[in-house]
Amino acid sequence: METQRRSTPLGQWSLLLLLLGLVMPLATGQTLSYQEAVLRAVDGLNQRSSDDNLYRLLKQDLQLEVDEDPDTPKPVSFTVKETVCPRTTRQPPEQCDFKENGLVKQCVGTVTLDQASDYFDINCDGV
Give pTM, 2 decimals: 0.70
Q: Which residues contact 97 (CB under 8 A, 6 or more apart)?
A: 83, 84
Residue 54 backbone class (left: φ over 0; alpha: ψ -120 to 50; beta: rest): beta
Give whole-number Cα distances, 112 to 11, 39, 58, 78, 121, in Å: 39, 12, 21, 15, 9
CB count in 10 Å sphere of residue 78: 21
> CA 112 to CA 118: how far, in whole Å?
7
Structure confidence at residue 11 (pLDDT): 55
Looking at domain 31-126, which of 3.30.70.2190, 3.40.1350.10, 3.40.50.300, 3.10.450.10 is its CATH number? Answer: 3.10.450.10
pLDDT digits (tens, 9 = 90+) for 12-54: 555 444 444 554 444 444 677 778 888 888 988 998 889 999 9
First to last CA, the chain: 83
